[in-house]
Amino acid sequence: MGNLSTHQALIEKTYPINKGTIDAGMVLEFVYTKIDRKGKQTTKRYMALALSPTIKRAQDEVKMLHAISLDGVAKIAIEQLAARTGLEWANSRLKARKLKVEKVITPDPRAYYNSIIKGQLTGGLKGSYRTFREDRLNAIKICEYKWPKEMLLEDSNTSAIKQESEPDIPKLGDK
């Protein structure tokens, strides 16, 4: 445990987002309020890799975010996961990349956890899977993580260098 400060140092920029725009593969930073059985509230800042959008399964009372908490995950473990899945832009407006984890996600997060995540949560990822109640998530931000340059060059969707400018906006030096 205790890798949160390492991951925070690797954040280039953050963008506030709504709960409804959370998507699989996003590196998120948020404030979460836990309530224990006695009703005591504790608030903590988390960084997590979303494994799915917030969803409500039949057995859940509210929508849940299924994620890997980065506090207990070393930088190398996240980079290895990104190398296996690849990177892509989170959406057309934000300059933040996400992991392409939807390539392996099934519609049932429990089946996904048992078939994909559980077997891969060894070594640096062991014990990092968490579920968060959507109604207790606050101050949610998507993070542009400093990925190794070789991963950015392999980005099949686009890269910051390859992004085309808007045709209506003249470039400096255009007449």
For the chain, the domains span 4-147
Query: What gap in Å lies between CA 161 and CA 95, rounded to an integer?
Result: 12
DSSP H stretches of helix in the chain: 4-9, 75-85, 109-112, 118-120, 149-153
pLDDT for 59 equals 80
Report pLDDT for 117.
Answer: 60
d(CA 41, CA 74): 28
Distance CA 15, CA 92 (A): 13
Q: What is the pLDDT of residue 168?
A: 42
- The DSSP letter of residue 113 is I
Residue 60: predicted pLDDT: 80
| pLDDT at residue 98, as a whole number | 77
Task: Output the pLDDT for position 171.
Answer: 39
Of the candidates 25, 60, 30, 19, which has an alpha carbon nearest to the alpha carbon of residue 139? 30
**pLDDT, position 97:** 74
Distance CA(141)–CA(161), nearest Å, equals 24
Predicted local confidence at residue 108, as pLDDT: 59
CB 29 within 8 A of CB 14: yes
The per-residue pLDDT string of the chain (175 residues; one tens digit each, 9 = 90 and over) reads: 578 888 989 898 899 999 999 988 889 999 999 999 999 999 999 999 898 888 887 788 899 998 889 988 888 888 887 887 777 777 656 667 777 665 444 455 566 566 656 665 555 566 678 889 999 999 999 998 888 877 765 544 443 333 333 344 343 344 4
If we measure between CA atoms, which residue out of 73, 153, 161 comes closest to residue 120? 73
